[in-house]
Structure 1
Amino acid sequence: MRQNSVRKEGARQRAPHASDHGWDSTRHGGDDGPDASSGSGGEPPEGNGRHRRGTGGAERPPRRKRRVLRWSATILSVLILGTAGAGYLYYQHLNGNIETDDLNLGEHRAPEPTPNAAGQTPINILLIGSDARDSKANQKLGGAKETFGSPPLADVQMLLHLSADRTNMSVISMPRDTLLQIPKCTDPDDGKVYAQSGPRTMTNESLGRGGPGCTVATWEKLTNIHINHFMMVDFAGVVAMADAIGGVPVCVDRNIHSRDSQGHGSGLKLKKGTTEVQGKQALQWLRTRYGFEGGTDISRAKAQHMYMNALVRKLRENTGLSNPNQLRKLAEKATAALKVDDGLDTIKKLYDLSAELKKVSPARTTMTTMPFDYAGARVVPKPGDAEQLFRLVRDDVPLDGKGRKKPAAEKPSDDPAAADGEIAVQVQNGTRSTVEPPVSGRAGTVAQLLTGKGFTKATPDTTTALAEERTVVRYPSKELEGDAQRIAKSLGLPLSSAKKSTDVSGVTLIVGADWREGDAPPKPKKKDDRTPDSADALSGSDKKACMKVDPNFTW
């Protein structure tokens, strides 16, 4: 019977560790555990029950405990379903393999993007991987016996953005130990409420606070990017699917053996040059931290990016997928390994999504890592650069620099603004940043400034201290758009700084970290649509990419 591994209460606390910047299956600095290389694959537990949330009278079957891995197998699953038309022969059976969970467990959603001139909108998919140890087959692949059955952590998180016009695709990886604020989440199964966390909570704890929907809510709170779907896959699934396609080419610049004297490491052992990895060896590549130059989660993410790019190229060429039996086997393994939101709960929905993804060539696929700064043994989003990357995705700007269009002229609202003295506006203090505390009394100061400009209904909210990088005017509905734009214009802000949001109940001016002092916000700089260098972008067409090996892990 199916049970969801994310339903364990609470999130286990972890002591900081200077080397703790990768997915460690031991959860305490060991990459994969001393016995990580002893397994020889493994199949997911049998069963094809479906989990669905709802209000019907029938008792829902409990979800099977399932161990989820990472983006690589997730993307594999989607693209395979687009390649394997034979999967339709087993339509109902394959549908029964797919597990579902709720998309967003938070109280608010990021606004949906505005359609382009052709009426198209982007698709954003959050790819989540957990380090849970909840089945014998998966634990054999992952090691860390002392953590068997403990709450999972979302140790791999990648946001896949498919552009509105389907010409390009971007991926943002977030380091698992990023410190941020996890929003309030409610578990719909048992009603347990997880209060909003402190501002310096590791992002990977979100999964244990009600399920993958809380991880989605955390991303939306941080990035203000509307997420359409999430996907998760287990360890055994990635091994089986890698076998089914006959391997993925990866490269190292010297011989590598990921194993130290204490037994830490994935066990990956490869010769210099390019090797087709599959099965357990493919899993080792995706999990390796010890052995790649730097030895951090950042190095591991780079290796994952290379694997994903090579995987997509191979699938597009249909290499290794030469007969119907092979395709059916792959479709079977892919669907059995998947956990998705209700919007992707059938083969047809997955097939349709895969058809959209396949429209993008590898040359227009860009892999990035969220820009970050170190905060002790952890990391925080890099001021300026991280928001720049998020904005490019929100604005559907291609990260490869191709096909960028001139920004459209700002359009005043069709709804006229009320008289200045009739516009009720609340002022909030959003001057706190990752490196500076909020400026005391800032909301009151700016509210007085607005009153002096004739906005006599401006009032400060002295109970709220937010973190907003740039000053913004938010409004909840179309009929208040004109009022919000009028406030923005009176302060010399661009009309685009007036943004619709369900987080507010009326026109709300949030004084950002860019306006910590003075009587006017700084003039906005000319919009820069370049991808930050700190995002470490990698093109999907780069066939020469090769991982650098730490000399201490060569042979």
Structure 2
Amino acid sequence: MSLAPQASNASDGSGRNGGGRRKGGSKTDGRRRRRRALRWSATVLAVVILGTAGAGYLYYEHLNGNIRKGERSSGDDSKAHRTPANAAGQTPLNILLIGSDSRNSDENVKLGGSKDSRGNPPLGDVQMLIHLSADRKSAAMVSIPRDTRVAIPQCKDPRTGKVYAATNDIINTSLARGGAGCTLATWENLTGVYIDHWMTIDFAGVVSMAHAIGGVEVCVNQNVWDHSTPAQRGGSGLKMKAGKHKVDDVQALQWLRTRHAWGSDLMRARAQHMYLNSMIRTLKSQSVFSDTGRLMDLAEAATKSLQVSEEIGTVKKLYDLGMELKSVPSDRITSVTMPNVKDSLNSEHVVPDKANADRLWEMLRDDVPFDKNGKTSGAKQVASKSKAKTPSVDPGRLGVLVQNATQTSTEAPVPNRARTITEVLGQQGYSRAAADTSGAAKPADETVVQYPSAELEGDAQAVAKALGIPMSAVKRSTDVSGVTVVVGADWRTGTAYPKQKAPKAGDLPSGSDAINGSDSSQCMDVYKPYQW
């Protein structure tokens, strides 16, 4: 259909046709009329385009207005450092996903149970770190069980200004002690992994997102009904027969909240990993981004459901994150649970299985893929190739401070550890080395040698070499005023720095319960009392 006005065949009685042309008019007149028609058409088209763009802009602003934002971290200054960039200048991306049990709305009370809990600070019952490799070719999803006892740092609520003292408690309480920023700080404190952003979602958000996706396929090996029993009160209400099912709306939330029917909170994490892997496969198989209606439904649901750290608080940034995750092949996505053991102080809680958990955190910090289906991103290799610098002074003239940071969430600091390593340095010619007796050192998972300015880099490298510490552990820091050896939990005994074999791709520690994202055969076993 033409946008140009059509000429009339009727005459106006003056020897002109209705289109405005004299019979036998010149070719010049015809060209003028065509130019006028084109100008008119272009004007109409411009109005249509501008009107559509205006509506698009308004809708974009509407979506941005849906997004709730908050401070990235509300805890004490973290000692976690970004992983060095690879040869292409790329760095890993870490996003903490938190599932809140908030019952501070009618919808969440209806979906989540007791109305007596309304108004209580929310708990972070689901906590999962999404790690995208520097080259965006692999990804990992790492869960920490909600009943894991950890060290929670001092946090300040960004809304009220209330300061919460550092404590030792189960990790799901961190959300109530300064919001998602405190949970992020707790994770960094435990893992040493720098976390770029956080996202939180509540009960109602899970339901709306599941509906927008169109349902997610899950599987059970036996009929399941997660309900109250004489031995255990509560339950999600999940009820389905054995086999594969697509869960949507409330049933999706029931699947993610089910715990008793799987036998433990650890198995709940496994069920959540199955759901997320299936959801990613579903999104990859759909043509969401060529279906305007579906895309708008997803955008509306996502922006209303999520609260995010302020650095990613726009539709464009969330969309870009989604595209980066969507680009990772399913067989390069691995979900795991932090290796853990029973808490000696409370049999209903767990604590990190230190050796295996530390191995997992090391793989994240060094950007080592959790799968064996591709190449490494190269970040660690670049870090290890830093050039040696010439020391500025002789060892005997260099002041070196040694700190004892061997404390962990489950173990006290090793007595006199800084003094022991100071003596080792003295034997290597560093006669001015001294142990820090101020007690200011914060727990550190790994031993590092820090220096405050470029002129002392060579001296810090020389100190590391004298102690057998790898060059990758030599780091510049504004927290120190001179060369400082921070003796971490990885060096609690002995005078020689323990040689550690670098983890390889797919070399996951025991107890991590790994699931590959391409494995669609996964099915949950149902604890006997909840079979029907």
- 1:163 pairs with 2:133: yes
Amino acid at match of 2:104: D
C-alpha displacement at 1:118, in angstroms?
Answer: 0.8
Among 456, 462, 466, the residue aligned to 1:480: 456
User: Do the aligned partners of residues 417 and 368 (structure 1) sit closer, same or farther apart at CA in structure 2, a change above 3 Å counting?
Assistant: farther
Separation (CA, whole Å) in 2 of partners of 1:284 and 1:317: 24
Q: 1:281 aligns with which of 251, 260, 266?
A: 251
> In 2, are the aligned partners of 1:417 and 1:483 still within 8 Å (CA)?
yes
- Residues 337-365 of structure 1 show CA distances to partners (whole Å, capped at 9, x for unaligned) of 11111111111111122221121011111
Q: Residue 525 in 1 paired to residue 525 in 2?
A: no
Tell me the residue number matched to 1:137: 107
- Counterpart pick for 1:490 among 453, 460, 466: 466
The runs of 5 or more residues in structure 2 that have no matched partner are 1-54
Q: Which has the larger radius of gyration?
A: 2
Report deviation, 1:122: 1.1
Q: Which amino acid aligns with 1:528?
A: P
1:128 matched residue in structure 2: 98
Q: 2:74, 2:181 within 8 Å by CA — same for their partners in 1?
A: yes
Amino acid at match of 2:371: D
Q: Is 1:453 aligned to 2:423, yes or no?
A: no
The secondary structure found in structure 2 opposite 1:308 is helix
Q: 1:489 Cα shift? A: 0.7
Q: Report if the CA contact (8 A) 1:471-1:521 is conserved.
A: no
* Among 360, 363, 375, the residue aligned to 1:389: 360
The reply to whether residue 546 of structure 1 matches residue 517 of structure 2 is no
Query: How much has 1:320 moved relative to structure 2?
Result: 8.4
Question: Quick one: which amino acid aligns to residue 116 of structure 1?
Answer: N
Alpha-carbon spacing, 1:102–1:121, altered in 2? closer, same or farther (3 Å) = same
In 2, the alpha carbon distance for the partners of 1:220 and 1:87 equals: 39
Gap change, CA 1:494 and 1:329, over 3 Å in 2? closer
Number of aligned residue pairs: 465
1:341 aligns with 2:309: yes
Secondary structure of 1:484's aligned partner: helix
Cα separation, 1, equivalents of 2:407 and 2:73: 26
Residue identity matched to 1:520 = A
User: In the aligned structure 2, how far is the partner of 1:178 from the partner of 1:260?
Assistant: 24
Q: Deviations over 1:311-354 (max 9, x none)?
A: 11111111789953343223212211111111111111111222
When residues 491 and 300 of structure 1 are mapped into structure 2, their CA distance, relative to the original with a 3 A threshold, is same
Q: Any idea what the Cα deviations from partners look like across 1:488-515, whole Å, max 9, x if unmatched?
A: 1111222223234455443221233454
Q: Deviations over 1:205-232 (max 9, x none)?
A: 2212221111111111211211111111
TM-score normalised by structure 1 residue count: 0.79
> How is 1:224-235 mapped onto 2 (pairs within 5 angstroms)?
224-235=192-203
Cα distance in 2 between the residues matched to 1:454 and 1:210: 47
The answer to whether the 8 Å contact 2:96/2:128 transfers is yes
Q: Paired residue for 1:329? A: 297
Is structure 2 residue 343 aligned with structure 1 residue 366? no
For residues 272-295 of structure 1, what are the alpha-carbon distances to aligned partners after superposition, in whole Å with 9 as ceiling and x for unaligned?
Answer: 100011000011000001111xx2
SS in 2 for 1:496: helix
1:422 corresponds in structure 2 to 397
1:207 is the counterpart of 2:145? no
Q: Distance in 2 between matches of 1:484 and 1:326?
A: 56
Residues 229, 436 of structure 1: alpha-carbon distance in 2 compared, 3 angstrom cutoff: closer
TM-score (norm 2): 0.82
- Cα distance 1:322–1:186, how it changes in 2: closer, same or farther (>3 A)? same
Alignment-mate amino acid for residue 60 of structure 2: Y
* 542-551 or 203-212, which deviates more: 203-212
In 1, Cα distance between equivalents of 2:257 and 2:56? 29
Q: Name the one with the larger helix percent.
A: 2
Residues 49-448 of structure 1: pairs in structure 2 closer than 5 A: 90-109=59-78, 110-197=80-167, 200-262=168-230, 263-292=233-262, 295-318=263-286, 323-375=291-343, 376=346, 377-405=348-376, 408=381, 410-414=385-389, 416-433=391-408, 436-448=411-423
Output the CA distance in 1 between the equivalents of 2:489 and 2:81. Answer: 22
Kept in 1, the 8 Å contact 2:101–2:202? The answer is no
Looking at structure 2, the residues matched to 220 and 445 of structure 1 have their Cα atoms a distance apart, in angstroms, of 28
Confirm or deny: 8 A CA contact 1:111 1:500 kept in the other structure. Answer: no
Note the C-alpha offset of 1:149.
0.7
Q: Which consecutive unaligned segments of at least 5 residues does structure 1 have?
A: 1-85
Q: Within 1, Cα distance between the matches of 2:173 and 2:297?
A: 34
Q: Tell me the residue number matched to 1:535.
A: 512
Report the Cα offset of residue 516 of structure 1.
3.8
Deviations 1:174-194 (A, max 9, x none): 111221211222233333222
**Greater alpha carbon shift after TM alignment, 400-409 vs 444-453:** 400-409
Contact kept, 8 Å, 1:474 with 1:507, in 2: the verdict is yes
Indicate the SS of the match to 1:284. Answer: helix
Q: Deviation digits for residues 228-270 of structure 1, max 9, x if unmatched?
A: 1111122112212212232110000011111132552111011
Q: Secondary structure at the match of 1:303?
A: helix
Q: Using the TM superposition, give the Cα deviation of residue 87 of structure 1 relative to its aligned residue in structure 2, in angstroms.
A: 8.2
Contact between 2:391 and 2:462, CA under 8 Å: does it hold in 1?
no
Which of 255-264 and 282-291 deviates more?
A: 255-264
Partner Cα separation in structure 2 for residue 433 and residue 210 of structure 1: 22
Contact 2:392 2:455 in 1 (8 A): no
Identity %: 51
**One-letter code of the match for 1:527?**
A
**How far apart in 1 are the matches of 2:259 and 2:84?**
40
Would the alpha carbon gap of residues 517 and 218 (structure 1) be closer, same or farther in structure 2, given more than 3 Å must change? closer
Match of 1:49 in 2: none
Query: RMSD between aligned alpha carbons?
Result: 2.3
Give, in whole Å, the separation in 2 of the partners of 1:531 and 1:87: 46
Residue pair 2:288, 2:295 contacting (<8 A) in 1 also? no
- In the TM superposition, residue 457 of structure 1 has moved relative to its aligned partner by 2.4
